[in-house]
Amino acid sequence: MILKILHYPDERLREPGKAVATVTPEIRTLIDDMAETMYAAPGVGLAATQVGEPYQLFLVDIAAEDEPSDLRVFINPEITDKQGKTTFEEGCLSFPGAAEDIERAERIKVRALDRDGKPFELEAEGLLAIAIQHENDHLQGVLMIDRLGPLKKRLLHRKMVKRSER
C-alpha cells in the first residue's frame, strides 16, 4: 500500500520516532508499505516519521536505476562513529523539488536491527553514508532545512509554505 508522505512544514515531521520494542508483523507490513512508497516516489530513503508513523525505522536504497535493488532496513539505528566531511546536493521526499548542498560526515559506522530484528553493524561511505545520516536525522525530528544557513533556510521555508498553500 502506498502511504501518504508528509510534506514540510507538517508538524508531525518534528515528532521523534519511538524505539521499536519488537519487530511485529505490523512493523513488517509498515516496512513493506514504506518500501513501496519509496520506490513509487521515487526516492533513495524514507523514514517512518515521514509517513506519520513515529518509530525509529528507516529504509535506504541507493542502487542506480539500472542496478538491482539494494533495500536496507534500519530499526532503532545508532550512528556510533563519524569521520571526515563531505558536501552533497540532497533532496527529500518531504521537501518536493528542493535540492540543497548539505555537509555531513564522509564515513560512518551505524548499528541497527534488520527487518528480522537481528542486530547488525555497518560501515558506510559515499552516498550510502549520506542517505543514512539524512534518514537518521528524520528519526530525531531533524530535517534538511535545519542544516542550512539562515538565508537558505528562510528561502526554502518560504518556498515550501507557498507550495503547501497551493
**Closer residue to Ni ion (CB): 31 or 92:** 92
Q: What are phi and psi of 75, to 5 degrees?
A: -115, 135
**Closer residue to Ni ion (CB): 48 or 92:** 92
**Closer residue to Ni ion (CB): 92 or 110:** 92
What track of x and - describes contact with Ni ion for positions 139 through 158 (by CB under 5 A)? --------------------
**Closer residue to Ni ion (CB): 26 or 146:** 146
Choose among 92, 26, 89, 100: nearest CA to 57. 26
**Separation of first and last alpha carbons in the chain:** 26
Active-site residue (options: 78, 90, 135, 165): 135
Amino acid at position 12, single letter? R
Is residue 92 within the footprint of Ni ion (CB under 5 A)?
A: yes
What track of x and - describes contact with Ni ion for positions 39 through 78 (by CB under 5 A)? ----------------------------------------
Are 125 and 107 contacting, i.e. CB atoms less than 8 angstroms apart?
A: yes
Q: Annotated catalytic, 135? A: yes
Q: How many residues form the binding site for Ni ion (CB under 5 A)?
A: 1
Is residue 38 within the footprint of Ni ion (CB under 5 A)?
A: no
> In angstroms, what is the minimal distance from the CB of 62 to Ni ion?
14
The site for Ni ion (CB under 5 A) is made up of 92
Instruction: Please give the positions annotated as active site.
Output: 135
